Chains A and B, each alone.
Chain A
Amino acid sequence: MENYPVVLLMILAAAAAVGLALGAAQDASNYLTSALGCRAARLRSLLAVAAIGILSGSIFSGNLMGAVRSGVFRAQYFVVEDVYWLLTAASLASLACNRVLGKLQLPTSTTLSFLFSLIGAACSAAVFRAAGSGSSGMLSAVNQESAFSLVGATLVYMAAAFFGAAALQFFLRLIFTFRLENTYRRYAGLFAAAGFTLLTDFLVIRLAAVNHFFSTNTAIWLLGHEAEIAAYIFCLYAVIFLTLSLCTAINVLKLLVLAATAACAFAFAANDLANFAGFALAAFDAARNTHGDPATQYMTAFAFPFHTQPLLLLVAGAVMAVPLVLVSRVRNQLRCDINVALAQGSDHERFGSSRASRIIVRTLLNAKPQVMFFLPSSCREFIKHRFAASPTKSSRCAFDEVRASTTLITGALLIAGACRHDMPVSTTFIFFMTTLGSGLGDGSWNRENAVYRISGMLSAGAGWLITAAVAFFSSVLLCVALLWGGVTAALAAALAVAVLFALSRRNAQNSTWSVPTMPSHADHETVRRMVNEACAPLLSRMTKLYAATAAAFLSEREDQLQKAQEEAADLVDQLTELRALYYEMAQQSSSSKKLDLDARYCYYRIFANMLLAAKAELFLATTAYQHVADRHRNFVNPLAKNLQELTTGLTELSIPEQGRFSLRAIRTNGPGLLLVISRMQSDLLSSISSCGLSMRSCELYLSFLQCARDIVDRFQIAAILQDQLNDFCDRVEERGFIVRPVRLETRSIIPAPRTPAANSPRFPKK
């Protein structure tokens, strides 16, 4: 193959484009979450701001690119040919590693995978060549000190991000308190001015200076007089923002959050562009700077500081920015990600609790009284006073502008600072840590969530290690494969990565469902409407699922049973979410009427009952799946036919319409069906001995019956509750005054034991 560099360059370019577009979309949620969480702007406008930030940031990324390139390995030890191979291997490995770890929901970082796949490929190429030539000189080809310092920097910056954000937020909260409306006029203008100054100074001036946008003299002058310039800028901003905050209705804190978001996008682009496009751009440089036989000429060009073409960088930036703004699918995915990230704060914990985090929480809780002991009591009182919660806290926002701007500014400054010192850092981890840190500084950690936050931090650390290890080893393997297999191997690897992307994309489409939204005010009418809308579809979903499970079981379709199992699990999840809304309702307004409280109580009980029915279905689907997977005997005819009849009976119970009478059928026909179930149960009993039914089949059949019984029972109770809810709502409308609802029937909420039924005859009739 004469023209293999062309093939490799094409692969690299494609990988870079895919990496840029997808990586930018994937990572955008890191810095957009804060702004959306305090509702500073709508997503669309935020994306526009971010796109501007990315475009301008990408121009500033040239410096870092060169630094990384010569930082990890000493290119002059390699022949040009090897550089091509190792760049291709590292590029594909890092792309695949990002994708796989991202899909597994592990915290991962593009910077880390970039660095470690480069190190891995360089090591592997060096060893491969050394083994071929028998000399050990190649081993110094990997720039060990520099690589170590790069790796160490990402860790140090993570710690700095956490503690910096925590300290800053604590300080700011002391100033602003949670009652922003009191302190806004006094401090907001100054704070905004300070924030803008810092952002301008760190991002624009310093980065411009090191990126050789000015002549050398200008740059030296700028850096020499930095303090003065900053002071002037601060004064300028202070005038502007004080005017804005005092004289106009513009919320300067929102402006600050927007600017910080742009700054973060800027810093992100400056730092992360190299992760995606670095391999391709390096390979282009290599191709441009070699004028001989690539197999013999050594790669000396990388050793010198090198200016990447600003135009190329701008193109790369555009590839990152354009999909964010224009492609709606990307936007939707992003919205989904951000929703998940925001929901974490309330009750959905992304990270489970681990033993290590339990130990840490335990220790911290034990240590807290000791620390408190050392603070003077006046100090303690002051802090407590400043951190007192706002009496009129609106629950619409996850946090306020002060915390959002802390998170963003700390992140942006740290990344920009790292860029200036030619240190690539992991933006994902930095933002993750600043978010956690600002939450800590804000006093939002408590006994309910501390253990999950800490295990989040620990799993970030673990994710760091895992990313590093996976990237390193996969690129070592891939590089060996490429060096050994040549162009064929490269094409095969590229194809494999493409297939991986195609597969994982399909999964992404499947698993999107929206978190149920909470109405702004949950009075009895809203609750009633929610109940009336939800009941019938849920019932028909459950009966359909039951029918599907039974049919799949009788026809021994393992795949369909698996699907039924997944759907049941989905149903349980959704019902859990729906039921959890009672909690939000209860929190919403403490001054609700008695009637509203009763309505919510009904809501809770209805959904609790439906959740139990869904759990029974999940149990059934799992057992049935196991039975078929183990290839145990299926039901033979009298039993199978009975089951089918039961299924049809159950399906007839659901009427496909909404409204207050949506569950009427189950109230009229339910008791009859329960009798049928009892009869089937006693039939089964008599056939245990005659048909030689095994215990396992018998139990499974009983599970089928019990699940049907659960569905009918639970929905009957739900129907009664729904009627009562509707009745007393109607009565209020008619008479205009509140009637205390009759105490709900208590007997029926008692669940039947799993197998025997409350309604079945006490003894089988013979």
Chain B
Amino acid sequence: MQFFYVLLAFLALLAVCDLFIGVSNDAVNFLNSAIGSRIAKMRTILLVASAGVLLGATFSSGMMTIARSGVMHPQYFAFATVMFVFLAVMVTDVLLINAFNMLGLPTSTTVSIIFELFGAATVAALWTLTEKGGEASSFVSYINTAKALAMISAILISVMVAFISGVLVQYLARLIFTFHYEGAYRKFGGLLGGFCLTAICYFLVMKGAAGSSFMRPEWISWIEIHTRTILWTLFGAFTVFFYFLIWCFRVNIFRIIILTGTFALAFAFAGNDLVNFVGVPIAALDSVRYYLAAQAPSPSSFMMSDLLRPDQANTGLLLLSGFIMVITLWTSRKAMRVVETSVKLSSSQGGEHELFGASGPARIIVRGALMAGDALKRIIPGKVQAVLASRFIPRELHAGENPLPFDHIRATINLVLSSILIASATSLQLPLSTTYVTFMVAMGSSFADGAWDRETAVYRISGVLAVVSGWFITAFSAFTLAALLCALLLWGGIPAACVLMTAAAFVLIRSNLRKAADVSAVKTVISGDCETIRQTLNDAAPIYFSRAVDIYGDMISSFFSDDESSLKNLKSQASTMFDALSDQRRRFYDMEKFGRNSRHLDRDARWCYFRVFSSLRETGRSLQALSIATRDHIANRHRIFEGELKKNLTYLARELQNSARLGDNPHAPLSIAAQEASRITATIDRMQEDLLSSIGPQKLSLRGCELYLDYLQFARDLVARAHSTAVLLKELNDRADASLVGRRVDPQNPPS
């Protein structure tokens, strides 16, 4: 029996960990809109969200039955079996979520918990059947098939419903308010506010009351009888209140609505997802309690029909979980990072950096949608089209304004709609994937807003498809892994359980230690004025060039020493450098976008920035190609150059390293002067000529020749690029200095 206490303690530990991980991953769902639309300070938003989470946690008592009897029929299982099922489910959950996070696959805690229960229960049922020797056909009665099927289909359907309702509601809202909603806001703002708040009250409080842990039955029945009256009263009161605020105090009621929406979504999230994290441990705790209460003789003979009883979960426990979630919300740095990244990502539209690559099916869908759109245009009369188009004219940006990822209307719709959807599912005791629902609502609303233009559509659809396929992959692997682990537990008993617990603890610790290492800071956009750019370029360009030369030199020396592993290392260094350079170069577009009406000088400086980094990126690209070619040459164990060729290459590398040393002059930091550049180029030419004439006598292979010529070509490119960069930089520095002094420089004839 002591073992089960250990097990219980372990499950509790896992629950706490799960809460931490889950909240830090999912907080983005309900914080994103409020932070992205810059409606309030971070503190305020977090406070509101915390209140929502705490309250929502107490409303999730109804959902807890899912872990108890939602998937299996506990009356057929013995106490020991049930405990093993729970252990298998929790361990699988930890392993799976970790693995998926590490691989960067989209996943959902709800889907995984349901399919884990399903898999483990299936194995347990089979095990019990073989032990008892019952009919194979009675297997079905062990699993709560009706409920399980309902839950699975609910998850799938909710995704579709979320998208479609997102599209429709947002389209309507946009038709009414348009992108210039200042006018419409005064007319319809109060109605919108009243509607949203009433809906939130209805779905969250009134329908969710049945699942809360502290509601008394008589209160609930009273609410049920008077629903209609309450709703109309609420609607009227809220509407009047908001109109009052708008007309008399000029309060921006969107602030109130969005904050309420954040609260509601946090509430719904806690209500729906808490079961994913603590449902199983609480069920296990209850099982132990029932077992102890019954004073049954042996754990393997006591049947768990008590789990069928709809027992209200302990409010204290739920509150405790809620507190853990709140603490995570405030303290987890990872949560903040995820939120920041997500906001950044959604704001940089049309960038080169898309979360999901283009996939074949997505291309087909986009193609079809474009054709359908053309067909629709032909059907709808021109006048209607013109009216519709006039409602969807996007707002012009003021000079220097940093555009919001989405405006208040869309934020409101996103928040209210997803919280309503989730809460209504909670009241039906159906667990949904909150992540998927919010994602799909956001997708739908941005689609209705026309934010999916041709530049992004294919990636958005790829994203949706990836999420849906992530669903299937999660389901499949959760089922299989939980089944396997459960079989292992049932077969191996307590020793196997100890092994599994150790393994899970190990994975948890390791992944949390690892996480600390790969904090990739989201770099800020540098402002696009001349001085900053000049500073950046003067700092960065020489460093990158000397790094390229260093890698080149190392590559040559490890090539001659036949060292495959160090070449592999150099290859990854070259790739990292190329990525960094691409990233730097991309910032040109950000600068261009955010600083459009800037000075002439700034613009020229930006152009200089672009050219320097383009040139550097090309260097990086060819360095990468060269490192791959070298590595393959050595990995294939081809011959290495000898004699004159070897001496020449080593000499060239040294020469480059000498000339690429950082100069002291802050105004012309690249010290590859014109004279030196032409000298090195002449050397390279001579080497090339030598090579071509010595192919015959020295019996070189074609492959070796090509590699040697690649080396020469890279060096030639590098020198040329460094030289032209030096010229560019000098010019930039001169002009910047001149403008600082106040002299006006004629752009037609820049001083040489």
**Residues of chain A lying within 8 A (CB to CB) of residue B593:** 689
Q: Is A131 an interface residue (CB 8 A)?
A: no
**Residues of chain A lying within 8 A (CB to CB) of residue B586:** 695
Most buried by A among B459, B611, B681, B697: B611
* Cα-based distance from A754 to B615 in the complex (angstroms): 7
- Known contacts A688-B592, A754-B618, A766-B747: A631-B370 contact under CB 8 Å: yes
Q: Is A696 an interface residue (CB 8 A)?
A: yes
On whether the beta carbons of B724 and A758 are closer than 8 Å, the reply is yes
Q: Which of B592, B618, B731 contacts A762 (CB 8 A)?
A: B731
Q: Which of A353, A604, A699, A758 contacts B635 (CB 8 A)?
A: A353
Q: Which of B589, B604, B639, B724 contacts A446 (CB 8 A)?
A: B639
* Cα-based distance from A452 to B632 in the complex (angstroms): 12
**Residues of chain B lying within 8 A (CB to CB) of residue A450:** 637
On whether the beta carbons of A754 and B366 are closer than 8 Å, the reply is no
Q: Is A697 an interface residue (CB 8 A)?
A: yes
On whether the beta carbons of A696 and B618 are closer than 8 Å, the reply is no
Interface residues of B in 456-470 (CB under 8 A from A): 457-459
Q: Is A1 an interface residue (CB 8 A)?
A: no
B606-640 contact mask (Cβ, 8 Å, vs A): 1 or 0: 01101100110110000000000000100111110
**Residues of chain A lying within 8 A (CB to CB) of residue B459:** 630
Interface residues of A in 351-369 (CB under 8 A from B): 353, 358, 361-362, 365
**Interface locus among B55-63, B93-101, B699-707:** B699-707
- Known contacts A746-B678, A756-B614: A685-B607 contact under CB 8 Å: yes
**Residues of chain B lying within 8 A (CB to CB) of residue A754:** 614-615, 617-618
**Residues of chain A lying within 8 A (CB to CB) of residue B611:** 753, 755-756
Q: Is B721 an interface residue (CB 8 A)?
A: yes
Q: Which of B458, B596, B681, B688 contacts A630 (CB 8 A)?
A: B458
User: Does more than half of chain B's interface fall in helix, strand or loop, or is it mixed?
Assistant: helix
Interface residues of A in 588-638 (CB under 8 A from B): 588-590, 592, 597, 600-601, 604, 608, 626, 629-633
Q: Is A743 an interface residue (CB 8 A)?
A: yes
Q: Which of A347, A447, A629 contacts B638 (CB 8 A)?
A: A447
* Cα-based distance from A447 to B614 in the complex (angstroms): 38
- Known contacts A633-B453, A694-B455, A695-B350: A601-B692 contact under CB 8 Å: yes
Most buried by A among B370, B702, B728: B702
**Residues of chain B lying within 8 A (CB to CB) of residue A743:** 685
On whether the beta carbons of B747 and A631 are closer than 8 Å, the reply is no
**Residues of chain A lying within 8 A (CB to CB) of residue B731:** 762-763
Q: Is A448 an interface residue (CB 8 A)?
A: yes
On whether the beta carbons of B692 and A631 are closer than 8 Å, the reply is no
Q: Is B689 an interface residue (CB 8 A)?
A: yes
Q: Is B351 an interface residue (CB 8 A)?
A: yes
**Residues of chain A lying within 8 A (CB to CB) of residue B705:** 583
* Cα-based distance from A699 to B350 in the complex (angstroms): 12
Q: Is A288 an interface residue (CB 8 A)?
A: no
Q: How far is the CB of A763 from chain B (nearest CB, A)?
A: 5
Q: Is A378 an interface residue (CB 8 A)?
A: no
Q: Is A451 an interface residue (CB 8 A)?
A: yes
On whether the beta carbons of A600 and B637 are closer than 8 Å, the reply is no
Q: Is A751 an interface residue (CB 8 A)?
A: yes
On whether the beta carbons of B747 and A361 are closer than 8 Å, the reply is no
Q: Which residue of B lies closest to A447 (CB)?
A: B639
Q: Which residue of A lies closest to B689 (CB)?
A: A601
Q: Count residues of chain B with CB under 8 A from any CB of chain A.
A: 64
Q: Is B682 an interface residue (CB 8 A)?
A: yes
On whether the beta carbons of B618 and A753 are closer than 8 Å, the reply is yes
Q: Which of B637, B681, B717 contacts A451 (CB 8 A)?
A: B637
Q: Count residues of chain A with CB under 8 A from any CB of chain B.
A: 59
Q: Is A587 an interface residue (CB 8 A)?
A: yes
**Residues of chain A lying within 8 A (CB to CB) of residue B132:** none
* Cα-based distance from A695 to B693 in the complex (angstroms): 47
* Cα-based distance from A699 to B724 in the complex (angstroms): 21
Q: Is B382 an interface residue (CB 8 A)?
A: no
Q: How far is the CB of B214 from chain A (nearest CB, A)?
A: 53
Q: How far is the CB of A429 from chain B (nearest CB, A)?
A: 24
On whether the beta carbons of A629 and B455 are closer than 8 Å, the reply is no
Q: Is B534 an interface residue (CB 8 A)?
A: no
- Known contacts A361-B636, A587-B696: A629-B358 contact under CB 8 Å: yes
On whether the beta carbons of A448 and B352 are closer than 8 Å, the reply is no
Q: Is A698 an interface residue (CB 8 A)?
A: yes
**Residues of chain A lying within 8 A (CB to CB) of residue B693:** 586, 597, 601
Q: Which residue of B lies closest to A690 (CB)?
A: B596
On whether the beta carbons of A753 and B685 are closer than 8 Å, the reply is no
B221-241 contact mask (Cβ, 8 Å, vs A): 1 or 0: 000000000000000000000
Interface residues of B in 704-752 (CB under 8 A from A): 704-705, 709, 716-717, 719-721, 724, 727-728, 731, 747-748, 750
Q: How far is the CB of A555 from chain B (nearest CB, A)?
A: 15
Most buried by B among A362, A580, A601, A756: A756
On whether the beta carbons of B721 and A753 are closer than 8 Å, the reply is yes
Q: Which of B607, B618, B639, B747 contacts A448 (CB 8 A)?
A: B639
Q: Which residue of B lies closest to A579 (CB)?
A: B706
- Known contacts A450-B637, A695-B586, A695-B589: A763-B685 contact under CB 8 Å: no
Q: Is A346 an interface residue (CB 8 A)?
A: yes
Most buried by A among B367, B459, B692: B692
* Cα-based distance from A446 to B704 in the complex (angstroms): 13
Q: Which of B685, B701, B709 contacts A746 (CB 8 A)?
A: B685
- Known contacts A590-B696, A753-B615, A766-B600: A697-B455 contact under CB 8 Å: yes
**Residues of chain B lying within 8 A (CB to CB) of residue A247:** none
Q: Is B363 an interface residue (CB 8 A)?
A: yes
Q: Is B695 an interface residue (CB 8 A)?
A: yes
**Residues of chain A lying within 8 A (CB to CB) of residue B366:** 630-631
Q: Which of B351, B681, B692 contacts A695 (CB 8 A)?
A: B351
Q: How far is the CB of B300 from chain A (nearest CB, A)?
A: 41
**Residues of chain A lying within 8 A (CB to CB) of residue B615:** 753-756
4 A-B pairs with least C-beta separation? A750-B720, A586-B695, A756-B611, A753-B615
What are 21 of the A-B contact pairs (CB < 8 Å)? Answer: A347-B702, A358-B637, A448-B639, A448-B703, A451-B638, A583-B695, A586-B692, A629-B363, A631-B363, A631-B367, A633-B454, A695-B589, A696-B350, A697-B455, A750-B717, A750-B719, A750-B720, A754-B618, A756-B611, A763-B608, A765-B748
Q: Can you add 6 more A-B contacts, CB < 8 Å, to A365-B637, A763-B731?
A: A586-B692, A631-B363, A694-B350, A746-B682, A746-B685, A751-B717
Interface, chain A (partner B; CB < 8 A): 346-347, 353, 358, 361-362, 365, 446-448, 450-452, 580, 582-583, 586-590, 592, 597, 600-601, 604, 608, 626, 629-633, 685, 688-689, 694-699, 743-744, 746-747, 749-751, 753-756, 758, 762-766
